[in-house]
Amino acid sequence: MNTTEAEKKEYLNFIHQIIEEDLKNGKHGGRVHTRFPPEPNGYLHIGHAKAICLNFNTAEKYKGLCNLRFDDTNPAKEEEEYVTSIKEDVHWLGFDWGDRLYWASDYFQQMYDFAIEMIRKGKAYVCDLTPDEIREYRGTPTEKGKNSPFRDRSVEENLILFEKMKKGEFPNGSRTLRAKIDMSHPNMNMRDPIMYRIVHATHHNTGDQWCVYPMYDWAHGLEDSIEGITHSLCTLEFEDHRPLYDWFLDQLEGVHRPQQIEFARLNLNFTVMSKRKLLELVRLGLVKGWDDPRMPTISGMRRRGFPAAAIRDFADRIGLAKRESTVDVALLEFCVREELNRVAERRMAVLNPVKVVITNYPAGQVEMMEAVNNPEDEGAGTRQVPFSREIYIEKDDFMENPPKKFYRLAPGREVRLRYAYLVTCTNVIKDEKGEILEIHCTYDPETRGGNTPDGRKVKTTLHWVSCDHAVQATIRQYDRLFKVENPLSDPEKDYKEFIHEHSLDIVENCQLEPDLKNFKPGQFIQFERLGYFIADPDATDDNLIFNRTITLRDTWAKIQQQENQK
């Protein structure tokens, strides 16, 4: 028997190890149910993508379910716009929550009833301390806190006061409902944490129905419990909150007990990941919006042209652990290139054109050349590309006095025009300032399609576009938003000082192969020898716009850099 396959042990990350152990022990009735619980106070970013993939993929792996739940417990910061974008982003990433779209606000009444239960049991009390006083009474990590003078109110008084808080009879900040735990606990989260605060604000879902809103620690475990979540996955900073998460659930009768497990959040170099900073970039106009292609948001990456499959693959490859780490953006770029190489059709586009006249080619003649759409995918077929006497090539593809390792067109040198002919440079026409106006070449009629019947080799194949047939476009070339690996590393400097001033380079009057005018927004494309691009929704009928997703790996650029450093 062939044992190699059976012996190949599948690698399990530490969370899946815990789950398999739980399954073996019959914990949670052998069920796995996860959730992705965003607060609708910003757009989702690549760090959220890690959590989304983890939660949905874990559920699928163990034949369980994953809910999408909006943790909308703070009406001051939350907006409908964010709800819409979050739903769109999760779907676009390729995940489906079925009919399990939930809201923390759906449970406000249940949470309130549980709070009454806590008061009745003497586990919660209404506190009249001001915010400043609460902070003062809380103590510090090294000093114990002091009991609130309101800690021993009667159950009856607490019930009445909490009822009045709920009805809106007190102003914001005047009172809170607190859990009665231990003001000398070494874990500050356990020093009589606040369960409810008074907020007079209109909630996007519940309107003006509530004047008290639950705090995260009280709400989150209840949300998980109510939904029957088995494994509540969250980031490391909530590790300190787990004792409180467990404590709350322990106080209540007959509630389901989910298990919180923490993992390290994703950090990426050359960017910032906090919602606060991303919001700031948007508000200050440093980027064009949450979906600016330079943003690490899911919507930004989508507009940049990163395929969802590449982001999912990235989430798989970065692994999962409890140690703080920063993933190299080069890995993300690798995933993007790998996916795009497989799926993007190829076209020719000249970004910085210079005219080439093929002097021995008949004026007025047009030939249709057959070009392969995607060498990685035969099913993508071929297309016909018009060729004529005058074409554009890339300025960078010609040098009058080429250095050693430059293989492209130069006086007297022969190169291949992709899918067309071999041409030899015979002359260069310049204006009085020395600017190149035209490059003159002759072609070899025997080399139609780019083949050489005599077997001779040329070093390089160039992309080109026929002048008479070209369509014009604007191309937005994006680069990394920050010019340093870690914009937050210098405590003396604001991260915004490290913004890359040339992270967007707009190139007008690019000359494209004619069939590009049929490309619809969102369609991926590779411009041969240049990079991957995506048609942008800003395009109009008479002006095409493509965003550069990422360049191809460019060994010539690398050689140039190395030469420059010498």
Active site residues: 39, 265, 275
- What is the rounded distance in angstroms from the CA atom of residue 48 to the CA atom of residue 288? 21
Q: Which residue in the set 141, 379, 434, 455 belongs to the binding site for RNA (CB under 7 A)?
A: 141
Task: Tally the residues of the chain.
Answer: 566
Q: Which helix (H) or strand (E) holds 439?
A: strand 436-443
- What is the rounded distance in angstroms from the CA atom of residue 271 to the CA atom of residue 482? 6
User: Could you say which residues in the range 20-79 bind RNA, by CB under 7 A?
Assistant: 37, 39, 71, 73-74, 76-77
Site string for RNA, 445-484 (x = CB under 7 A): ----xxx--------xx-----------------------
Q: Which residue in the set 376, 378, 468, 490 belongs to the binding site for RNA (CB under 7 A)?
A: 376
User: Could you say which residues in the range 535-554 bind RNA, by CB under 7 A?
Assistant: 552-554
Using the minimum distance from each CB to RNA, give the nearer residue, 130 or 154: 130
Residue 313 near RNA by CB under 7 A: no
Residue 409 near residue 398 (C-beta atoms within 8 A): yes
Q: Which neighbouring-strand residues pair with 12? A: none
User: Could you say which residues in the range 164-193 bind RNA, by CB under 7 A?
Assistant: 172-176, 186-189
Q: Which residue in the set 155, 160, 236, 363 belongs to the binding site for RNA (CB under 7 A)?
A: 236
Site string for RNA, 93-132 (x = CB under 7 A): ------------------------------------xxx-
- Least gap, CB of 439 to RNA (angstroms): 16
Residue 118 near residue 243 (C-beta atoms within 8 A): no
Using the minimum distance from each CB to RNA, give the nearer residue, 62 or 398: 398
Of 54-62, 95-103, 203-211, 368-376, the segment contacting RNA by CB under 7 A is 368-376
- Least gap, CB of 112 to RNA (angstroms): 15
- What is the rounded distance in angstroms from the CA atom of residue 179 to the CA atom of residue 244? 10
From the list 127, 201, 193, the residue with the least C-alpha distance to 162 is 127
Residue 220 near RNA by CB under 7 A: yes
Residue 522 near residue 511 (C-beta atoms within 8 A): no
- Least gap, CB of 87 to RNA (angstroms): 17
- What is the rounded distance in angstroms from the CA atom of residue 292 to the CA atom of residue 297? 8
Q: Which neighbouring-strand residues pair with 5? A: none
User: Could you say which residues in the range 199-218 bind RNA, by CB under 7 A?
Assistant: 199, 213-216
Q: Which neighbouring-strand residues pair with 412? A: none
Per-position DSSP letters for 134-185, written without gaps between them: HHHHH--SSS-----TTTT--HHHHHHHHHHHHHT-S-TTS-EEEE-S-TT-
Question: What SS3 state is found at 46?
Answer: helix
- Least gap, CB of 306 to RNA (angstroms): 15
Q: Which residue in the set 251, 341, 424, 442 belongs to the binding site for RNA (CB under 7 A)?
A: 341
Q: Which residue in the set 2, 4, 25, 142 belongs to the binding site for RNA (CB under 7 A)?
A: 142
Residue 138 near RNA by CB under 7 A: yes
- What is the rounded distance in angstroms from the CA atom of residue 165 to the CA atom of residue 148? 18
Using the minimum distance from each CB to RNA, give the nearer residue, 14 or 208: 14
Q: Which residue in the set 375, 412, 453, 455 belongs to the binding site for RNA (CB under 7 A)?
A: 375
Of 50-58, 235-243, 279-287, 502-510, the segment contacting RNA by CB under 7 A is 235-243
From the list 333, 327, 294, 344, the residue with the least C-alpha distance to 311 is 333
From the list 436, 433, 435, 415, the residue with the least C-alpha distance to 424 is 415
Residue 402 near residue 367 (C-beta atoms within 8 A): no
User: Could you say which residues in the range 499-528 bind RNA, by CB under 7 A?
Assistant: 526, 528
